[in-house]
Amino acid sequence: MITRLCCAALLGLALLQGCSSAEKKSAGDEYQATRYSQDQDAAPLKHIGPDDVSDAVPRADPILAAGNKSPYTVNGATYEILKEYRNYKERGTASWYGSKFHGHETSNGEIFDLYTASAAHKTLPLPTYARVTNLDNGRSVVVRVNDRGPFHGGRLIDLSYAAAVKLGYMEKGVARVEVEVLNIAGVDDRRDAPGTHYRYLQLGAFGEQASAQRMQGELQGFVQAPVFVSEVESSGKTLYRVRIGPVADSEEFALVQQQLRDGGYPEGQPLP
């Protein structure tokens, strides 16, 4: 599902004008209007400076089906998610997005936090880590690409408010950038990748997302494998499942189970 169809454009000196105001209303407008409390995007009330923004820390997160449907169509244009994305490097225009989307889900189901270094891209798999460099001032930031967009004006990438502050173009609204993927030794487990089979462990399913994220944070402190939260509908209710994996072989599988036992957790439910 494409969760964000607007990118950010300059509004005054400190906030961006949402692209919905300059385009014809689409079938998704009614949904967007009820989903977000703000009509236009804006900078947050809390001021931060470049020194307040930390780079995203790359880790070997699995690339799952969530957020990686390919092909997909937005505003009449069709996009293919890149199969070969390692060593990706491209130059183009970056914009940013902020408070309108803060606290809402990104395209792969994570929660957008405008104060962390993240980004939206049309064709990179989610999640991906990339170094973005402002070509006008040489500043750079490492971002976690976990959203889709920007679908406006030929722009290459949409950075979080914090990442734009780090690069020094928050007030200007757009910047010329270079985007370079960081090659992390992770596992591509998109379901449309033929012949790919890995194993997972499920540690629990919660009715509240905060509870699942709390367990995820605890497990990430000592388990040497990706830990993620996936959302599923069950009997008309939304459940948030905490899972570990993919685990590529029996040796790694046994290691993860031992780490869980050492941490005082059950071994979990094995999944194909």
Q: Where are the domains of the chain?
A: 10-181, 199-271
- Specify the pLDDT at position 236: 78
Bond preceding residue 226 cis, omega within 30 of 0: no
Q: For residue 163, with 0-12 CB atoms within 10 Å meaning exposed, 13-18 middle and 19 or more buried, which class applies?
A: buried
Q: What is the pLDDT of residue 249?
A: 74
* pLDDT at position 38: 63
Query: Distance between CA 174 and CA 123 in Å, rounded?
Result: 20
**Given 2.40.30.200, 3.30.420.40, 2.40.40.10, 3.40.50.300, which CATH number is that of 10-181?**
2.40.40.10
Residues in CB range of 265: below 8 A, 6 or more apart: 203, 219
Q: Give me the residues paired with residue 143 across strands.
A: 130
User: Rounded to an integer, what is the distance from CA 211 to the centroid of its chain?
Assistant: 20
What pLDDT shows up at residue 189? Answer: 64
DSSP state for residue 55 in the 8-state scheme: P
Model pLDDT, residue 190: 65
- Rounded-to-integer distance, Cα 226 and Cα 206, Å: 19
The highest-level CATH class for domain 199-271 is alpha beta
pLDDT at 55: 95
Residue 30 is predicted with a pLDDT of 36
Q: What is the pLDDT of residue 186?
A: 64
Per-residue pLDDT of the chain (272 residues; tens, 9 = 90+): 344 544 433 333 333 333 333 333 333 333 333 455 666 776 777 889 999 999 998 887 778 787 899 999 999 999 999 988 989 999 999 999 988 888 888 998 888 999 999 999 999 999 999 999 999 999 999 999 999 999 987 899 999 999 999 999 999 999 999 999 998 756 676 654 444 465 788 898 999 999 999 999 999 889 988 898 888 777 778 889 898 987 777 778 888 888 998 899 888 877 76
Give me the sign of the Cα torsion angle 109, 69, 224, 269: positive
